Amino acid sequence: MTTQYQSGYKLRALKTFIDETVGHHIAKHITAEMSDITLRLNSKNMGRGMDLLIMRYTAEFYCDRYPYQKHDPAVLFANVGAWLMDNDRERDDHEPLADPDVDVVIEDEQSAEIILTVEFEEPIRVVEAADGPIYWRGKRWRIEAYEIWVAENIRDVVIR
């Protein structure tokens, strides 16, 4: 699979969605960063690649000068919640992730500072590669997305 894969893909996808829903005039004041990263060593063979480990992190979306009088912050919050429900359905698969947290500080009569904090969990995916930078199980690997095949019929499953 040729799709470029990088850890933190959920943070980047939510940031893109927020930027699209609030418009350029607000999006230019929004930054996102990853913190509190923990790694769970839990490899899983997925057939065409491996989930080497699970990364859990906190994504912080910081918006300076949010025009809360013109753009209801509740719409921003609802869009974040809707995106999570539509795009991060595995939030409760392992240890449940906390619901998003919001801090709002009124700066003046027109603007506020908003900090949205969202916990994410995602696999670090690897494929075998002769020139890969990761040495594991006596082989070389590189971080990359791989195609995941899902059996649609029981006849598609091979038992060895």
State how far the Cα of 124 lies from the Cα of 46, in Å rounded to an integer: 12
Q: Give CA–CA dist 121/56, Å, rounded.
A: 4
Position 72 scores a pLDDT of 93
CA distance 25 to 92: 34
pLDDT score recorded for residue 157: 61
What letter represents residue 104's amino acid? V
Beta strands in the chain (DSSP E): 30-40, 44-45, 50-66, 101-106, 112-128, 134-136, 139-143
The pLDDT, as a whole number, for residue 147 is 73
Please tell me whether residue 145 adopts helix, strand or coil conformation. Answer: coil
The position carrying tokens 């040495």 is 135
121-160 per-position pLDDT tens digit: 999 999 999 999 999 999 999 998 777 766 676 666 666 6
The pLDDT of residue 57 is 95
- By CB atoms closer than 10 A (0-12, 13-18, 19+), residue 117 is middle
Mean pLDDT of 47-53: 89
Question: What is the reported pLDDT for 156?
Answer: 60
Model confidence, pTM = 0.83
Confidence at 116, pLDDT banded by 50, 70, 90 = very high
Where does the pLDDT of residue 1 fall: very low under 50, low under 70, confident under 90, or very high at 90 and above?
Answer: very low
Give the residue from 116, 125, 51, 54 showing the smallest Cα distance to 91.
54
- pLDDT on residue 117: 97
Query: Are the CB atoms for 71 and 91 separated by under 8 Å?
Result: no
| Chain mean pLDDT for the chain | 88
Q: Summarize pLDDT for 2-36 with one digit per residue, the tens.
A: 344 577 899 999 999 999 999 999 999 999 999 99
Count of alpha carbons within 13 Å of 93, Cβ hemisphere only? 10
* Extents of the domains making up the chain: 9-156
pLDDT for the residue numbered 155 = 66
* For residue 88, pLDDT beyond 70: yes
